[in-house]
Amino acid sequence: MRNTWVVLRREYLERVRTRTFLVLTLLAPAIMTALMILPAKLATMNEKPEHIVIVSSTQQFGETVKQHLFADSFLSDEAEAEEDTSKPKPEDRYTIDIDTNATETERANLQQKIDAHNIDGFIWLTDDAIAAHKVTWSAREMASARDKAWLSDSVNQIVQQQELSKQGLTATQSAELLKPVKVDAIRIERGRETKSSGSSRFLEITIMVMLIYVAVLLYGISVMRSVLEEKTSRIMEVLLSSATSTELMTGKILGVGAVGLTQIIVWTVMGGVIALPSMAAQPNFADLQLSPVMMISFVLYFLLGYLLYSTMYATIGAITTTEQEGQQLQFLIVMPLVLSVFMLMPVIRTPDSAMVMWLSLVPFFAPIVMYARIVIQTPPLWQIGLSLLLMVGTIAGLVVLCARIYRVGVLIYGKRANLPEIMKWLKYAKA
């Protein structure tokens, strides 16, 4: 145990004290913040409202459509409009004129104005177009799905109100009758109602997926490179005389892994300080309800998943002799992560299905799949405990396997390892 601690301390301090580590640790949050803020700022700089012309059969109908388009309630429901104040209002995005000259000559004239950049687009909203259920939005750029839905909802409600008014209903009665019914999704967990939205639950799972990906891809490779460097420098031949290969490999995995965790913790704290005020104003972040069980599960599965994949990288480093060979074998490590991401939708839909249950017990899928089950619908405690136990056992087994391969492989010069050769190494190391 003492030798393991010595190796861990050496690996950790050797990397933390470098200028590269300090520069990346301090500058990375600033760079990420700039990359997130600058595109939005550049997109809004010198942004002018789009000039849109509504072509209608009558001036009154065109004005009615214009008023409805500028009403906030037609962009989203009232609750969403009140919560999300960051989205631009229609009157800030569009300048709308009314044109009652609904002829083909006028259509051609408007198309020429678009080419000349005098207007940005026009909406052909004549009585014939509405009767044929074929309204067109012609513009220099294709209208987004949100804008088309915005126009469609407005026109449909106006037409329905006109039909209801012919039946003797007032405008107030028509508006009340056509008001959409809001459906709230309530999740029942352990006999209690929880009001957290599905988007907030998905966000919690996404955070875990992103952290696992970043940790594995950035720092797992560092573990592999560290093992390869020791093999090529031959310094391990001296170290093996004073410590076992298991102690050396455990100290190396924990030491290099601790460097990555240190950097992630610093980035998380700095990112939280910078982004927390703006995140709290967003509806999805405001709905987050992190229970103690969920927070403990997050820490456990992230740490064990990080150690598991780091050990797998170390095993590849012990098998290979060059970094190129190691990169070719990385797909064996990334594949379980990719499959876990593909399984997220079935997990969210049916967290208690037999396939999802058994998959969440497999150590290579458990960090993402089991955590997703805990977020969506907490599984029985024995399943959580069994998955943690299997992950710990797999990590310990991989460390021993990696140490045995490393013990013999470090003494092999210029010989590429294949499966039969690796089996021989394991036999020699055991003996």
Report the CATH number that the domain containing residue 142 is assigned in CATH: 3.40.190.10
**333 and 361: one domain?**
yes
Residues 313 and 402 in one domain: yes
Q: What are 133-184's pLDDT values in tens digits?
A: 788 888 877 777 777 777 777 778 777 877 787 777 777 777 777 777 776 6
Residues 262 and 118 in one domain: no
What φ, ψ does residue 139 adopt, rounded to 5°?
-155, 170
Q: Look at strands 121-125 and 50-56 and give their pairing.
A: parallel
| pLDDT at position 392 | 93
Residue where a domain stops, chosen among 129, 152, 178? 178
Q: Does 406 lie in the same domain as 276?
A: yes
> Is 12 contained in some domain?
no
- Residue at which a domain ends, from 143, 178, 213: 178
Helix, strand, coil % in the chain, rounded to nearest 5: 70, 5, 25
Residue 390, domain member (yes or no): yes
Q: Is 330 exposed, middle or buried (0-12, 13-18, 19+ CB in 10 A)?
A: middle
- Parts of the chain with a pLDDT under 70: 1, 36, 39-47, 72-92, 183-201, 231-241, 271-272, 274-291, 408-431
Q: Is residue 214 part of a domain?
A: yes
What was the pLDDT predicted at 431?
Answer: 45
Residue 194: per-residue pLDDT: 59
Q: Which of 144, 178, 212 is the last residue of a domain?
A: 178
How many structural domains is the chain composed of? Answer: 2
CA distance 431 to 425: 10
Let me know whether 204 and 168 are in one domain.
Answer: no
Residue 427, sorted as left (phi over 0), alpha (psi -120 to 50) or beta, turns out to be: alpha
Whether residue 154 is contained in a domain is answered as yes
- Three state DSSP letters for 63-124: HHHHHHHCCHHHCCCHHHHHHCCCCCCHHHHEEEEEECCCCHHHHHHHHHHHHCCCCCEEEE
**Same domain (yes/no): 200, 164:** no
pLDDT for the residue 8: 82
Check whether residue 127 and residue 252 sit in a common domain.
no
pTM for the structure as a whole: 0.64
Q: What is the DSSP letter of 144?
A: P
If asked whether residues 243 and 384 sit together in one domain, one would say yes
- To which H or E segment does residue 418 belong? none
Range of the domain at 79: 50-178
Q: State whether 362 and 402 are in the same domain.
A: yes
Q: Within a domain: residue 24? A: no
C-alpha 422/C-alpha 322 separation (Å) is 16
The answer as to whether 415 is a domain residue is: yes
Is 79 part of a structural domain of the chain? Answer: yes
Which residue intervals of 143-244 are DSSP H helices?
145-166, 171-178, 198-215, 221-233, 236-239
Residue 353 token pair: 């299905």
Quick one: 116 and 222 in the same domain? no
Give a yes or no: residue 31 inside a domain.
no
Alpha-carbon distance 117 to 377, whole Å? 54
